[in-house]
Chain A
Amino acid sequence: MSDKQLDFEFRERLNRIVGGDHHNYCYQCGACVAVCPAARFSDEFNPRDILLMTLLGREQELISADSIIWKCTNCYSCYERCPQDVRPVEVIIALKNMCTQQGVLPDNVDKFSEAIIQTGRSVVITSTINRRRQALGLPELKDVPVEELKIILDE
């Protein structure tokens, strides 16, 4: 981290993503690290380091399909604990949104979310499901209004 060049342009772009602007509040106390399960189970993952790289504007290290940010468990413990209202998990998710903008989303994340847009559900319905539901005495699953989704998601 000896490079003294800060990439403010990157940070300005991050500020425009929902929740991305809160990265500015981070004063590097490390309260998030103490409660982070990913930091506990991985030697590489450290939310304070991710925030520091963000403050420095290290775009190349942060924005990629194999970036460390994808190992976040999304548990919200850092959001709960942060004394500065940084909401680190939300900053990490904003960084993930940047991955989308640059077309470097991990494959499974892309496919999973695409399935939601195409089918309206995150779990694909197979022919056996309604039979299993019927056997349990549950009502048949109806189609979801996929057309409406496409209309509201049209950029």
Chain B
Amino acid sequence: MAENVRVIPFWGCMIPVKYPQMELSVRKTMEPLGVELVDMDGFTCCPDPIYFKARDKVQWLTVAARNLCIAEEAGLDIITMCSGCTSTLLEAKFILAEEPELKEKVNQRLKRIGKEYKGTVTIKHIVVMLRDDIGMEILSSTVKRPLTGIKVGIHYGCHLLKPSQIMHIDDADYPSLLENLIQTLGATPLTHTEKLLCCGKGCLDDNMPLQMTYEIFASMEAVGADCMGLICPTCFNSFDIGQILISRKMNRIFDLPVIYFCQLLGLAQGFQPEEVGLHLHRIKIDKIMEKLVKSESVEFAL
């Protein structure tokens, strides 16, 4: 077991309100890894890096800085579970370091509520914490039921990796973070043509987001994926219900379960699908469970 890691979870809005199954999977899977989640009161929306930022960048920076202050006061790192939150909090930190005058302006506003943003807090997406602070060896030591034979189509999403100047997480064109994590769970990570394509959620258009989702699923299907593995609730929203919309509007059935990374980790740690909330997804994971049970019985027979 690694030294006890204590971090502040920044849950954001989508996960606790819309997809609490993702929060459940994080809480379940961090315990065996010795990660202590120190929940803090007072966080608001990060705020979202698309609409709120489009309205007013200074307001966007101010709200983000207020959130960061809460973690600074507690003296602990933040982990994020959503790529949007990761993007907002890391970019706000970057801009406020790049432009001291702006930082001053933001701090004048924060002073009204007795806060001061210093710029000392570290923000990491949970998968980055797993790679950098926990490590593959410890991660693999908690795997009780390797996901042998499960082919996971990888979807990075945009905001974890780009811009790399700010995110500092992985090569934005040839990333390996999710491949390595998924391999550690015993599953087979699948690269595919549209692995890095945007889910389209931030685009104000009736057709384009669905077309992007379509291409991503066609690309995963072409390489024989059993499911999709991802790390962002906004992408999940595009893809889980998105497949239903595609079947209605474009008359094409994909039926590939969309699984948040910590849910995959939970299955590998031996939790039942319901224990990590997989029963709440629109696209069901029955076929994957059948495949897992089969590969377990083969191992038993050997």
Contacts and interface: CB of A to CB of B under 8 A. Distances in A.
Interface of A: 17-19, 37-38, 41-42, 70-77, 79-80, 87, 93-94, 96-97, 99-100, 105-106, 108-110, 112-113, 116, 120-125, 129, 132-133, 136-139, 141-142, 144-146, 148-149, 151-154
Given A73-B202, A97-B55, A152-B113, A132 B158 contact: no
B284 interface: no
Nearest to A151: B112
Interface stretch (B44-52, B128-136, B147-155, B224-232): B44-52
A21 B14 CA distance: 33
A144 B42 contact: yes
A125 B20 contact: no
Interface in B217-252: none
Nearest to B199: A73
Interface in B175-231: 197-198, 200-205, 208, 211-212
Contacts of A106: 204
A70 B203 CA distance: 7
A137 B277 CA distance: 11
7 contacts: A41-B208, A74-B50, A75-B158, A76-B158, A87-B163, A138-B23, A139-B39
B30 interface: no
Interface stretch (B56-64, B256-264, B292-300): B56-64
B5 interface: no
B83 to A, nearest CB: 11
B13 A152 contact: no
Contacts of B172: 80
Given A18-B95, A37-B197, A73-B198, A109 B55 contact: yes
A123 B17 contact: yes
A145 B201 CA distance: 28
Contact of B63 (A97, A100, A149, A154): A149
B302 interface: no
B56 A100 contact: yes
B21 A136 contact: yes
Interface in B97-121: 99, 102, 109-110, 112-113
B169 to A, nearest CB: 12
B50 A75 contact: no
Nearest to A120: B44
A20 to B, nearest CB: 9
Nearest to A92: B54
B55 A121 contact: no
Given A37-B197, A80-B163, A71 B63 contact: no
